[in-house]
Amino acid sequence: MRFQTDLVSATLTRRYKRFLADCVLEGSGAEITAHCANPGSMMGLAEPGMRVWLEPNDDPKRKLKYGWRLVDHQNGHFTGVDTSLPNRALKMALQARELAPFAAYDRVRPEVKYGENSRIDFLLQGDGLPDAYVEVKSVTLSRQAGRAEFPDSVTARGAKHLGELATMARMGHRAVMLYLVQRTDCSSFALAEDIDPTYATAYRAARDAGVETICYDTNISPKGIAVSGMLDIAI
């Protein structure tokens, strides 16, 4: 999935009110405020002085003319910070039937209502196959070299989603918790149990109920983001 507009590089000044980020554009030195599409803590990714990549827009309906898309670790690796991008990239991969665990499904339905006032990220359907309910979480935290972790903050909503998946599994459907790592510097995935023990408990209960766990990494550059290979899961 390519970015709609060429990204521009900048230096992060501060991230605040969760969805705002002040930056200085490289080259012009202009000071701007960008939209940060990430409600998490962004631990280790929002330090002043970091190099970031922003997507400009000329949409008159948008108050902010830049969206923060990437952190550039300046060692050849990137982290995607926009939590809306994983679902867009995954939708393309699922529709193209590029992901082996889901290749048999020929119908991809995003944002389908289910459970108790919830929406599943993707409902996959295919003739002769059980419906597959796929919940997606964007993973950006890494506190140990090479290991990605989720969550980066307490997430009651995430625990609720695991409970909904467990219910689907008990009903005989296929239920999948898919973690998509938006970092290019990780080779394995684990739960950040110390950050949210309740989420870890909900995860194990869902796993015992039959919920599958799958983790993919991504190829990321200032040109775009694409789903790549599967990562080892250390849970």
Report pLDDT digits (tens) over 153-193. Answer: 999 999 999 999 999 999 999 999 999 999 999 999 999 99
Q: Please tell me the distance from the alpha carbon of residue 193 to that of residue 201, in angstroms, as a whole number.
A: 9
Examine the pLDDT at 116 and tell me if it is beyond 90. no
Examine the pLDDT at 61 and tell me if it is beyond 90. no
Q: Please tell me the distance from the alpha carbon of residue 177 to that of residue 233, in angstroms, as a whole number.
A: 12
pTM of the model: 0.94
DSSP type of residue 87: H
Burial status of residue 100 (CB atoms within 10 A of its CB: 0-12, 13-18, 19 or more): exposed
Sheet (strand 186-191) strand order: 141-144, 146-150, 186-191, 232-233
The mean pLDDT value of the chain amounts to: 96
Examine the pLDDT at 117 and tell me if it is beyond 90. no
Tell me the mean pLDDT in the region 52-57: 97
Spatial CA neighbour of 162 closest among 114, 110, 207, 101: 207
Predicted confidence at residue 74, as pLDDT, reads 93
Report whether 219 contacts 225 (CB < 8 A): yes
